[in-house]
Every structure is written in structure tokens, then in C-alpha cells.
Chains A and B, each alone.
Chain A
Amino acid sequence: MTTTQAENLSQSENLSRPNPFTSTAPTRRSPFSFLRRVPVFLTIAVLLVIEIYPLLWLVMNSLKSSTEFLNTPSWALPQEWRFDNYAVAWETGMLATTIRNSAIATIPSLIMIIIFGVAAGFALEVMVFKGRGGVLLLILAGIMIPAQMVLLPLFTIFFQVRLTGSLWPLIIIYTAHGLPLTIFMMATYFRAIPREVFEASTIDGATILRSFWSIGFPMVRNAILTVALVQFFLIWNDLLIAITFASSRSLNTIQAGLLNFSGEYGATDYGPLFAAICITVGGILVLYLFLNQQIMKGLTAGSVKG
């Protein structure tokens, strides 16, 4: 009887906390119980070192001169802080150009993916027509198609129409490649909206397009942010399509530009190379600081795409 009471106590204590796994319920607390926490702290410490130290090491070495990097232990703090590495990286790495190219390729494709994808997700989930299942299946198949399978015909097409010297191929391919996952995710989100909402708006005299734009679209606003973040990272961090279609130095996106910079100066200009990586990582870090919860949620929800 006493044990049940004890468990009841621990249960009621449990109710006050939101996490389902908080009940530790130690029946006998030994004076050495803090020792049992040591492995936990150790695990966390090791985890933090493994995750953070490489990034700290990166920042530290981005502030050293090349001779210092070659002659002192790499974990040592910089003797003099060479902030000009960042200026050199910005100039020789043509970071302004690569960031601009990445933005030019990413923003229009992101906008098109969202507009086309949300509309198509709405049509495929809310509206009723013959062949709906077939179209959905056809689009789902696109999620698994590896980029390699469409690369060569697209290269031939863009070469024939002489678009290979511009960023157009990137914008178009990113849009086409991002649509299947977006449509799939949006259809899932629209499924959660009760059909009655659209029926009510129809009774109130709205056309279906009006219902989509004024009711459907705003109702999935958060989902759109999630999907947009997934697509942003898939596009921003793409390498294969960027090096295939924008291989010339002036068209390089951030990823391709960094790779070229490393190839050209990586063996001699350590400081600027590290600085260039820091700038790349730093930009993403700022975005991540603001939106990390949505980013984590979105990317795991989009995990069907490898």
C-alpha cells in the first residue's frame, strides 16, 4: 500500500511538468547519487567539444597569418589578430559575387516553388477531379529521382538554347526539383484543414480561387515558412547542379566558389580560406539563431528527401 502511495505522489509531481519522462522517482536516495550524474555531464561535455571545438578552431585559425598557421600548434590562440584575412577572403574569394549568385539563384526559385507548390498541393488535396491520384503519384515519384538522372538531358537542352552562360538553368532546375517535395508536404498540411472551411466560404459566395487565396493560403502560413526553409537549405547548399551549370568563376554560387577558392589558394593562403569558410558559416548561423526551431522541424519533416 505504501508503495502505491509513493507512486501516486510521484505521479502527481509528474503532472506538474509537461515532459512525459520527467519522473525520476528515486526510492532511496544515496548520499553518492550525484556521482551517478557524472557520466551524464561527461557525455554532454564530450558532445559539446566534438560539436563546437572544430568551429572554434576554424574561427581561431581564420585570424592567423599563414606563417603562424604553419609554425605554431594549430590550437594555440592567434599571436596577432589578423582581421585583414577577412578582407582578403572577401576580395580574392569573390565572396560578394558568389553570395549574389546564390541569392539570384535561390530567391526566384524559392518564390516559384512556394507559389506553384502551394497551389498544386491545394488542388491535389482539396479539389476533386478525375486522375487526381495518378497525378499525385507521378509527382511523388519525383521526390526519389536523383539529380543525376535529369542532369544530362537538361545540360543538352540548356546548351542548345544557349542558356549555359547564365544563372537561368539553376533557377529553372531548382524550381522543378523542389516542387515534388513541396507539393507532397503542402498536400499533407491542407489535409489537416477541415473541408467545411472551404464549403462555408463557397456558400458565402467565394469562388474556389478566392477561397484558396484568401483562406487556404493564410491558413497554412506557418507550414509555408517551414517548407520554404527546407527548400532554402536544399537550394543554398546544392553543389551538383551548381558546378554543372554554373562552372565559370563569375557564375559560381557560394558552395562552388568556396571549392574553387580552396583549390586555388587552399594550400597557401590558410588564413583567408578559413576566413571565407567563417563568413559562409556565419551567414547561415545568423539565420539559424533566429529560426532554429522551425528549421529543425522543417528539415526533419522533409526527411523523405535524402
Chain B
Amino acid sequence: MKSVLGDRKAIAILLGPALLVYTLFMLVPVVWSFGYTFVRGNALEGFRFAGLANFTRLFSDPDVIEAFGFTLKYAVLMTVGQVVLGYGLALLYTFVLRRSSAIIRTLVFFPVVVPTVAIAILYQKLFQSAPRDGLVNELLVNVGLSGVDWLGSGDTAFLVIVIMDVWRSMGFYGVLIFAGLLDIPEDIIESARIDGARQWSLFRHIVLPLSLPILFSSIIFSINGTIKVFDSVFALTGGGPGNDTTPLTLYMYRTAFAFSDYGYGSTIALLLTIMCLVVTLFIFRSSRRDVTA
């Protein structure tokens, strides 16, 4: 049996193509990109050695600090928003809607699969202030407030990005956490009910402690996704106004393609990769239980 399962030729045939493509177009570029951190230039004009200049620049570049700050601010706020609202939805599905939750679950999940650009343009129009007010400003004006130039200043633009991305992804976290809540053994809930736990105390002392693992996984997944944010910001604000809503991913993209500096772009990408690595180590260390199986 060993010899059959250890058939070298079969292993080569099965594993070879995947490993070849993966090595050529993922692993080699990663190492290559690391090499780029020590040079200046780009693919069209050629490269020259720059020593550690990119790294010294990285640590003193106010734009990097700003982009890093934006990424962190976005990741923290989004993680809180996604997990809190997702948990709220999951509780609604499990304890309030119960068997009739399927249709609401399906509806709320839908924006997750819609192309980001479509949603971003929709939100641009919902929050627009010129040449005419969008839906949000119309509502504000109708209740007696004045319209806001939402995408015209950094703080409000940030708010719109967060609102849009939470709207887009809360259904996802709702389903993710819902699947985790279904894993809570029903006899525990039942015996708590027999012991007289109702509503708040049932939630506070039984459901919440038992859902901590899935909440923790959701937080990690959320951070992992949000520090890589690119599409929604790029399509909604393009990083503007100015640099006010530029995450690291977008700053890297601009450095590489608008300013044609591959060396510095790769250095920013390396910073991003290290951030992802730290988060991923958390994922594999803390929770290796499959929440949906």
C-alpha cells in the first residue's frame, strides 16, 4: 500500500503542474520583489542599485506614515463594524428569525458577490453633492439639515468608505458567525433555559462565552482582509481628496505606476506583506478549527 501511495511518478504528475505554476508566478516574484527593495528604477527604464535608500526613505516618509495610519484606522473600524454587526445579524438569524432566516440571510449576503466597482459608483451617486444632491443629502435636506460634501473632505470620505464596506460585507460576517453559533450544542442552551436563564442572562452567560471562538476567528479574518483594502477605496475615492484616504496598498500602486518607482513600491509591498504575515501567524496559531464544516 505504501508503495502505491508513494508512487513518485504519480506524485510528480499530480503535484507538478500546480507547484510549477505556483513557484514561477508566486514564489519567484516574491523573492524578486524583495530584490527590488534594494534598487531604483522601473521595467521600462532599467534599474540601478540603491542600497538601503528605500528602507531609510520608508521610515521617514510622511506619506507612508499617513497611509499606514489610514490602513490601521480603517482595519480597526471595519473589524469592529463587521464583527459587531455580523454578530448582531447572526443572533437575529439564530434566536429571532430561526427557521425563516434563510431568505433574509440570502438577501443580506448578496452585496458580498457584487463587483466592488459597481457598488462604489452606486455609493458615489448616493453620497454625491454636485451637480445635484444624491439620496443621502436629499434626506438630510428634507429633515432640515444641510447637505454635506461627503467625498470632498478626508473625514467624511473615510466615513463613506466605512459605511459602504460595512454595508457590503456585514452579510458575509452574519453568515460566518451564524455558522459558528449553530455549533453551540443545543443541550447547553436547553439546560440553561431549564435553570431559568432567559433573554439577557442567557445571552450574557451562555451564548456570548460560547461564541467567543468564532468571534475571535472573525476578528482575525476581518483584520486579514481589511489591511489589504484596495478595490473599494480605489473605486470610491481614488485615495482622495489629496492623500486623505490612501491606504498602503494604494500608495504602493501609485508609487509603482504613477511615479514609476518599482524599488520603493516593492519596499512598501514588503511592509504590507510583513503586516499580513503577522496576522496570518495569529490565524494559524489561534484557531485552526473549521467554522463552516
Contacts and interface: CB of A to CB of B under 8 A. Distances in A.
A135 B29 contact: no
A151 B109 contact: no
Q: Which of B8, B22, B24 has the most CB of A within 10 A?
A: B22
B231 A150 contact: no
Contact of B13 (A48, A209, A288): A209
A255 B120 CA distance: 11
A127 interface: yes
Main SS of the interface on chain B? helix
A142 B26 contact: yes
A17 B175 CA distance: 21
A245 to B, nearest CB: 11
A261 B83 CA distance: 34
Nearest to B15: A123
Contacts of A272: none
A306 B104 CA distance: 24
A21 B189 contact: yes
Given A22-B98, A148-B269, A127 B5 contact: yes
A208 B4 contact: yes
Contacts of B279: 144
Interface in A56-97: 57-58, 61, 69-70, 73-75
Contact of B36 (A14, A153, A175): A153
Interface in A153-188: 153-157, 159-160, 172-173, 175-177, 179-180, 183, 188
A288 B113 contact: yes
Interface in B89-126: 89, 92, 94-99, 104-118, 121-126
B43 A255 contact: no
Chain A's interface: helix, strand, loop or mixed, by majority? helix
A300 B43 CA distance: 38
Given A240-B230, A259-B117, A259-B235, A123 B14 contact: yes
Size bracket, chain B contacts = 35 or more
Interface of A: 7, 11, 14, 17-23, 25, 40, 43-44, 47-48, 50-52, 54, 57-58, 61, 69-70, 73-75, 112, 115-117, 119-120, 122-124, 126-129, 135, 138-140, 142-146, 148-157, 159-160, 172-173, 175-177, 179-180, 183, 188, 198-199, 202, 207-209, 212, 233, 236-237, 239-240, 244, 254-256, 258-259, 262, 266-267, 270, 273-274, 277, 280-281, 284-285, 287-288, 292, 295-297, 299-301, 303-306
Given A44-B97, A149-B269, A188-B290, 19 more contacts: A20-B184, A21-B186, A23-B193, A117-B18, A120-B18, A129-B6, A144-B276, A144-B277, A145-B30, A152-B43, A152-B256, A152-B266, A198-B5, A208-B5, A237-B113, A237-B116, A258-B118, A281-B115, A296-B105
